[in-house]
Amino acid sequence: EIADSAMDKLWGERLELDAGERGSWFKQAKYAMFIHWGLYSELAGDWKGKTYFGIGEWIMNKYLAGISVDDYRALAKDFNPVKFDAKAWVSLAKQSGMKYIVITAKHHDGFAMYGSKASSYNIVDASPFKRDPLKELADECRKQGLGFGFYYSQYQDWNEKDAYGNAWDFNPKDAQFDKYFKEKCEPQVRELVTQYGDLAVLWFDTPGKMTKEHSMALVNLVREHQPRCLINSRIGNGVGDYSSLGDMEIPPENVGGLWECVDTTNNSWSYAWYDQNWKSTKQIAKNVISVVARGGTYMLNIGPRSDGSIPVNAQESLLGAGKWIKSHAATIYGAQASPWEKAFSWGDVTVKGNKLYLHVFKWPSSGKIYLPGLSNSISEASIIGLSSQITIAKEGDWTVVNIPKIQPNDMIPVIQLNLKGEL
């Protein structure tokens, strides 16, 4: 539990944002991979034999293990992800149905996971690995046709005494944020937007007390070099392109504007040795559907180990969900929010043009699905990928969809209704 009142405004706020034409690809993509990977992955939630449950990438922080800067920096000497395989990571995302990848270039701990000239505290210069894994990922994403983007902690940097939120004192009196900003933050963001090809997303985090000038300086830097790159709302001061909602939150009702829900495959962002709470294949598919049905994008995180391997349980759940998503692609990619604005007891609805997609999470044993207030008549009804018989009846204001009493053989069956006329 983080109690410091200085943390109050750290997370940022929910805003309705829209990037206009620049956001059109985002409305299509709908599903992305988030990756938290850094020196904290090496600790995996454990410091000197004690486990700190919860937010593993925060383990250095004074509210968790309170690791000194020197002790933490020493972790870099052992960071050697010999099993890292950009091709395998990108293939996993692709086969899971994800359309872009966002990875931690620098988290709050301040360690750059790429070759940075602006700070020698980076994987190429301070670790035995010597390679730039993020360059390899960027190139591989381009090769396999996925988008690529960076997470960058612009405000908190616990390695820098001038950045907000150093390891012991969140707001030291002699801190000169502008100095950190000019000497590390800006130069590193410049590296990221100039040395890795086209970026889909620059994902900032915990804006805290960022001034509008500082937020805008980063926005302008991104725009100058990457005019098509989207910026998330955690840049602060309302100047982003799309809104990142609170972590792991699927909103109960439709949300307008461009937004995403960020979530994890288990309960942790970074790799945690103890966390086996893996989401099932069905849960992941359900979450993708539910977020799309509310109007958003789902960005689902994995936490690779420090050796570069990805827990097999995470891979299996993702690939299982991917198999379902790929065989129901039309109901997810580019689909829009449910006209009913919230979920039904049996499932949830997405829309494309004059087509309604009824995703049935809990098959009703009555063999009937009731849709309230739909005035259109229906020209065609089917179950995607199956030849089951479906009939439609109207009972007053209700449209009754008559389906088989037994669930057809699909993890989440989808009933497609083609409407006559506009929705």
Site residues (vs ligand JFZ, CB under 6 A): 11-12, 55, 57-58, 205-206, 246-247, 262, 269
Q: Closest approach of Cβ 12 to ligand JFZ, in Å? A: 6
Torsion of CA 257, 151, 211, 230, to 10 degrees: -40
DSSP 172-237: -TT--HHHHIIIIIHHHHHHHHHSSS--SEEEE---TT--HHHHHHHHHHHHHH-TT-EEBGGGST
Closer residue to ligand JFZ in complex, CB, 64/419: 64
Q: Closest approach of Cβ 205 to ligand JFZ, in Å? A: 5
Closer residue to ligand JFZ in complex, CB, 51/80: 51
Say which amino acid occupies 149.
Answer: G
Of the candidates 10, 230, 247, 210, the residue with the CA atom closest to the CA atom of residue 102? 230
Encoded tokens for 1: 């539990």
Closer residue to ligand JFZ in complex, CB, 233/399: 233
Q: Closest approach of Cβ 348 to ligand JFZ, in Å? A: 23
Q: Closest approach of Cβ 61 to ligand JFZ, in Å? A: 10
Closer residue to ligand JFZ in complex, CB, 166/399: 166
Contacts of 320 (CB under 8 A, 6+ apart): 280, 281, 284
CA distance 200 to 220: 16
Closer residue to ligand JFZ in complex, CB, 57/162: 57
Closer residue to ligand JFZ in complex, CB, 12/45: 12
Say which amino acid occupies 23.
Answer: G
Q: Closest approach of Cβ 55 to ligand JFZ, in Å? A: 6
- The overall longest dimension of the chain from CA atoms, in Å, is 73
Closer residue to ligand JFZ in complex, CB, 73/106: 106
Measured at CB, which residue is nearest to ligand JFZ?
246
Of the candidates 327, 342, 292, 305, the residue with the CA atom closest to the CA atom of residue 413? 327
Q: Are 233 and 261 in contact (CB under 8 A)?
A: no
Q: Closest approach of Cβ 34 to ligand JFZ, in Å? A: 7
Say which amino acid occupies 26.
Answer: F
* % helix, strand, coil for the chain, step of 5: 30, 20, 50
Q: Are 337 and 294 in contact (CB under 8 A)?
A: yes
Q: Closest approach of Cβ 241 to ligand JFZ, in Å? A: 17
Closer residue to ligand JFZ in complex, CB, 89/269: 269
Closer residue to ligand JFZ in complex, CB, 270/281: 270
Torsion of CA 190, 192, 198, 199, to 10 degrees: -110
Q: Closest approach of Cβ 89 to ligand JFZ, in Å? A: 18
Q: Closest approach of Cβ 268 to ligand JFZ, in Å? A: 10
Encoded tokens for 358: 């009824």
